[in-house]
Structure 1
């Protein structure tokens, strides 16, 4: 199963753009920071990931405040142009 829930802050937001079919797209960079237990030891976790939202969700996300903490839900895929990961956002709160 490829389902991700991530609390993160928006570090960067590109201007809203549109696909050739007219679908709104918003590219983001989001940053997560937390402390997790691993092998019985607390570990500081920092993560920066590219993210994208499409359609109505992209239009709603374009007004989100940079630096504010949000809960994002979505899935991961490989970027079309590289082997890096892109988080596809399906919901946020």
Structure 2
């Protein structure tokens, strides 16, 4: 199963664009910071992740406040077929 839930803030967001098939899509960078328990020790976890929202959710995501913190759901996939880089594909947020 490839399902990701993440609390993060929107660090930056590109302009809404359309794929050649006419699907709206917007790319962004999300920032996450939390304390996680690993081997019984509290660990500060901070990272930035590439993300994108496509279809109906992209228009809602495009209106979300920059710097705002949201609960995101989605999945991870390669940036493109030949890439090793991962992108978080947003399927929902609140």
Return the TM-score normalized by structure 1: 0.96
In the other structure, the counterpart of 1:28 is 28
- Residues 38-69 of structure 1: CA deviation (Å, up to 9, x unaligned): 01110000011000111110011101111111
Alignment of 1:1-93 (within 5 A): 1-80=1-80, 82-93=83-94
1:70, 1:42 → 2: CA distance? 23
How far is 1:87 from its partner? 0.3
1:25, 1:82 → 2: CA distance? 19
1:63, 1:52 → 2: CA distance? 14
Unpaired runs of 5+ residues, structure 1, are none
User: 3-state SS of the aligned residue for 1:62?
Assistant: helix
Return the TM-score normalized by structure 2: 0.95
2:90, 2:55 → 1: CA distance? 11
How far is 1:82 from its partner? 2.4
1:85, 1:63 → 2: CA distance? 24
2:27, 2:71 → 1: CA distance? 17
